Structure 1
Amino acid sequence: MSRQQLIERKLTDALEPEFIEVVNESGNHNVPPGSESHFKVTVVSAAFDGERLIQRHRRVNQILADEFSEGLHALALHTLSPDEWFERAGHVPESPLCMGGSKG
C-alpha cells in the first residue's frame, strides 16, 4: 500500500469523513522522483464541528504520527466541518509553490 493510500485509510477510519482527498505533491518539491513525502490533505468531517483549526491539525498529525516518523515530511491541511465545506462550495486553495530550493 502506498503512503498516500495509507494516509487516506487512517484518516477515513479515524474521522469518518464526508469527503477526503489526499494528493501527493512530492513532485513539486526538491525530493527524489517517486517520493511520498509531501501531501495536500482535504478532510471534511463532522468530527471537526466546534474544534479550532489548531485542534483539527493536531488531531490529524496525531493520527499520522507513525507516518511522520517514517519519512512523511509535510502536509498541507484543509480540515473542514461539513458546514464550512458547503460555505466554500467544496473548494480549497491550491498549495503554494515550493520555496525550499532548486529542483535541479
Structure 2
Amino acid sequence: MNMNQQRIAAFDLDLRKAFQVQSLVIDDESHLHAGHAGAASGGGHFKLEIVAPEFKGLNLVARHRAVYAALNRHIPKEIHALTIVALSPEEVST
C-alpha cells in the first residue's frame, strides 16, 4: 500500500466516524499536479464524493465545512487540495 493509499484509508475512516456514509469514493489526483508547489510539500490532491444524510438541508458551504472538520487532522500535511461533492441521499439520482 503506497502512502496515498494509506492516506485515503485514514480519510475514509474519519469520514465514516463523522457521517452515516451511504456512498464514498476518494480519488487521488496528485499525479495531475506533479511539480506543483503544494504537491512538492508532500500534501496530496484528492477528490471525494460522499453521500450521507447529514448533508440534508445544508448549503454547499456548510457541507464543505463539515467535510473539512471531519478531515481536519489531515490538513494541510496530507491534504493539500480537496475537491468535494457532498450530497444527501435524496439528491442522488437513481
TM superposition score normalised by structure 1:
0.74
Alpha-carbon distance in structure 2 between the residues aligned to 1:76 and 1:56: 12
Larger helix proportion of the pair: 2
Alpha-carbon distance in structure 2 between the residues aligned to 1:36 and 1:28: 13
- 1:57 is aligned, of 61, 64, 68, to 64
Alpha-carbon distance in structure 1 between the residues aligned to 2:58 and 2:33: 31
Larger strand proportion of the pair: 2
Structure 2 alignment gaps of length 5 or more: none
User: What residue in structure 1 maps to residue 33 of structure 2?
Assistant: 29
TM superposition score normalised by structure 2:
0.81
Q: Tell me, yes or no, if the aligned pair for 2:43 and 2:76 is still in contact at 8 Å.
A: no
- 1:79 is aligned, of 77, 86, 89, to 86
User: What residue in structure 2 maps to residue 38 of structure 1?
Assistant: 45
Structure 1 alignment gaps of length 5 or more: 90-104
Moved over 3 A (4+): none
Q: Tell me, yes or no, if the aligned pair for 1:3 and 1:36 is still in contact at 8 Å.
A: no
**Aligned residue identity for 1:42:** E
1:7-48 Cα distance to aligned partner (Å, 9 max, x none):
11110111111100011110111246xx66111100000010
Determine which structure has more spread, i.e. the larger CA radius of gyration: 1
